[in-house]
Amino acid sequence: MKKKTCRQILYCIFLAVLILMGLFLKKKSDRTQAVNSQSVLAMQAEELPPRVALTFDDGPHRIYTRNLLDGLRERGVKATFFVVGENIPGNEELIRQMEEDGHLIGNHTYDHADISKMSDEENCRELRKTSELVKQITGHQTAYVRPPFGNWKESMDCRISMIAVKWTIDTLDWKSKNVEEIIRKVMQQVSDHDIILMHDYYATSVEAALQIVDRLKAEGYEFVTVEDLILT
């Protein structure tokens, strides 16, 4: 009887040891997997190039927007264009080219209105008019809006789901109209995930933008649309 009891005790001890060893090995394995996962994520992060979004307001312009689109196409670069509705009639082909080249087309109101100084009804009308014009050409409405002067009313509900997009680097290209100064502003400030504000309504802005693309690409930057920057 005593021998049987001893065997049972030894058996229980043996099982306990096995269970403890199993728990120890599992914990060690989990730690190893966690470390490996962190290492993989770190390696992936190191391999990803810095990304920036070039954005252009106020167009389309009959001459300058076309020159910009051609230059971006030659360089294989995608950008975001926040268009003013009243500039679309007569420039439908430029909107079509933006769409075909893979650029993102956003809304900059119909006549560059300051949303903060208007009623919600007036604002909705401004945004809808531009969105409908874009839809007539591309088949879809605008999902993103760049409020003129950066003024946006978060409470505004136009029954149109639009994401307001501002910027992290303001080139003030409309003010200086100086190619080298515009380039210098960007190169001194740029970093990963920046949104660069420019305008496709000036010859100097287009020239500066294409030089910025060349310089940043040489430094390993990737150009994406605002949507790609936000969603990834």
Residues labelled as active-site residues: 57, 199
CB 52 within 8 Å of CB 192? yes
CB 137 within 8 Å of CB 174? no
First-to-final CA distance of the chain: 70
* Cα separation values, 105 from 133, 166, 180, 192, Å: 12, 15, 27, 22
List 105's β-bridge partners, or say none: 81
How many C-alpha atoms does 144 have within 13 Å on its Cβ side? Answer: 22
Report how far residue 43's alpha carbon sits from residue 41's, in angstroms, rounded to the nearest whole number.
5
Burial of 49 (0-12, 13-18, 19+ CB in 10 A): exposed
- Indicate the helix (H) or strand (E) that contains 93: helix 92-100
In sign, the C-alpha dihedral spanning 230, 165, 77, 196 is negative
Spatial CA neighbour of 174 closest among 193, 202, 148, 150: 202
